[in-house]
Amino acid sequence: MRWYPKPASAKGPAAMSFTVIRRRKIHEDVAAQIEQAIISGTYAEGDQLPPERELMERFGVGRPAVREALLLLERSGVVQLSAGERARVVHPTIDGLVDQISASARHFLATSAGERSLQEARRVFESAIARHAAEVATAEEIAGLGRALEANRRALVALEDFEVTDVAFHLAIAEIGGNQVFSAMHRAIVGWLALQRRVSLKVPEALPDALKHHEAIYAAIADHAPERAWQAMNAHIRAVEYWYEQGKAD
């Protein structure tokens, strides 16, 4: 007896077992197969891929498809392309991956909805980072954070210096524990929301308020109090959002 799948309207497990097939372009298929060969170990970091002509023969495609596939892999941070040389396999870095979405993030920020979404994401992210820092910080890392706080305190009288030390203080928190993803994401968010920081700090009351929050965050991390650190950072970022709105209104 021949089996036929149930129609989409049917109830039960069979009705949920199918997904829409997405039609991919030829170069995407080529890129996917090359990437899989790299993941499986056929090509290791530092290896050169076969010449374009050989890839054309292996995949049965034209030169444009191969070149577009290699460009796609380069944008993904999987291969490196140099004029006159074969593509070389490289190890993707988190900074490279973050850079790929930076242009899209800037366009996203151009809308008020996008700006609010990223502000909220920053608050959740930095609060979680502060909690993590309080859980894992070593005595040496706490001392380094203390030096960053002191530099921020000394810069209270100069707006530009305060902004620089403000960024350094937050980065010091993200670097606690040595997680490269945390620090890379923090640097990206700092870049994306640079205008917000600049506008909020122009409000005279914002600088001493930020320092007060920094002191509370530092104390919580130094005391290894994760929940307190989360609350202190959450309050700080909410205050930044408030001062930003005040700065825009001026």
> What ranges do the domains of the chain cover?
26-89, 96-249
- Residues 47/91, Cβ–Cβ less than 8 Å: no
Which helix (H) or strand (E) is 79 found in, with range? Answer: strand 79-80
pLDDT digit string (tens) for the chain, length 250 residues: 444 344 444 444 444 455 554 567 899 899 999 999 998 989 998 999 999 999 999 999 999 999 999 998 888 788 889 888 999 998 776 666 666 665 666 666 667 777 788 889 889 999 999 999 999 999 999 999 999 999 999 999 898 899 999 999 999 999 999 998 898 888 888 777 777 777 888 888 999 999 999 999 999 999 999 999 999 999 999 999 999 888 877 6
CATH architecture of 96-249: Up-down Bundle (1.20)
Distances (CA, A) of 68 to 30, 62, 63, 180: 9, 10, 9, 30
The CATH class for the domain spanning 26-89 reads mainly alpha
Cβ neighbourhood burial of 210 (10 Å; 0-12, 13-18, 19+): buried
Question: pTM for this structure?
Answer: 0.65
By CB atoms closer than 10 A (0-12, 13-18, 19+), residue 153 is middle
Q: To 5 degrees, how large is the angle CA 43–CA 48–CA 52? A: 110
Stated length of the chain: 250
